[in-house]
Amino acid sequence: MSEKGMSILLKKNALPDLHDVHLKKCSHCLAGKQKRVSFKSHPPHRRDNILDLIHSDVCGPMKTRTLGGCLYFVTFIDDHSRKVWAYTLKSKDQVLDVFKQFHALVERQTEKKLKCIRTDNGGEYIGPFDAYCREKGIRHQKTPPKTPQLNGLAERMNRTLAERVRCLLSHAGLPNSFWGEALNTVVNVINRTPCVPLSFDVPDRVWSGKDVCQHLSHSDGLQETVILPPVILLMSMSCSLMGESPSVMKRRWKMNTKGSGLKPCKMR
């Protein structure tokens, strides 16, 4: 019974032998009722230079595989510029290989060294991943188990990416298997639009120190007429934009075959 309930009964003289209702804390009450203290919110804080700190987290598995057979994606976020990189994965054991590619890419682009990476205590970030960080002189910060708040920037970014991917697919009327293409589009948009922790500056501009093109790619599902290869009888036909490749200057299209009498082509 609570103190409040006992006080009410005492006022009604229902507990004649009781004179003091103030209960002391005991180990049994703590064992049954103690809860974790909530994390305090802090204003956005950034490191002084790019590559001083990278946040990373894995999201998945998804319910549907991408066209390439991927079920997960991993993100890397620069703490200073808030620039985001996302890579799709078939399994979590690919995280180290992707991180090696990311490590070489950012150090070549900036001519600076990556100093620290912060991750959760997931199995994909221990063992070989730890050994690689030690070999390259990268400090590896691992958050305690069951404390996603300490890796909140990466956790919140994964949620933002997943939400926007679902919105794009819903708006374009595309099947869930195109979430990999939608993910590339979302990351491209985030890196080119104003960011609150940057006082509404643009991540790509802070990262490169140069003005960036503000022309954003069209959303997935855009209806356009696309010129076809000469081996096909028709010169052009209506297609839907599926997304843009992050590494190759090309776009992926899907032919709108409804009512045309044509069968959909297999996309590469």
DSSP 8-state class, residue 116? E
Contact between 252 and 243 (Cβ < 8 Å): yes
More confident call, 15 vs 122: 122
Average pLDDT over residues 32-45: 70
- Per-residue model confidence (pLDDT) at position 43: 66
| Cβ neighbours around 254 below 10 Å, total | 19
In 3D, which of 225, 192, 223, 218 has the Cα closest to residue 206? 192
Query: How far out from the chain centre does Cα 93 lie?
Result: 18
- Per-residue model confidence (pLDDT) at position 101: 97
Indicate where the chain has its CATH 3.30.420.10 domain(s): 54-208
Contact between 85 and 186 (Cβ < 8 Å): no
Q: Which CATH class is domain 54-208?
A: alpha beta
**pLDDT per position as a tens digit, 115-168:** 999 999 899 999 999 999 999 999 999 998 888 888 889 999 999 999 999 999
pLDDT, mean over the chain: 82
- Per-residue model confidence (pLDDT) at position 42: 65
Average pLDDT over residues 74-100: 97
Question: For the CA atoms of the chain, what is the radius of gyration?
Answer: 26
Which tokens belong to 186? 């979302």
Contact between 154 and 95 (Cβ < 8 Å): no
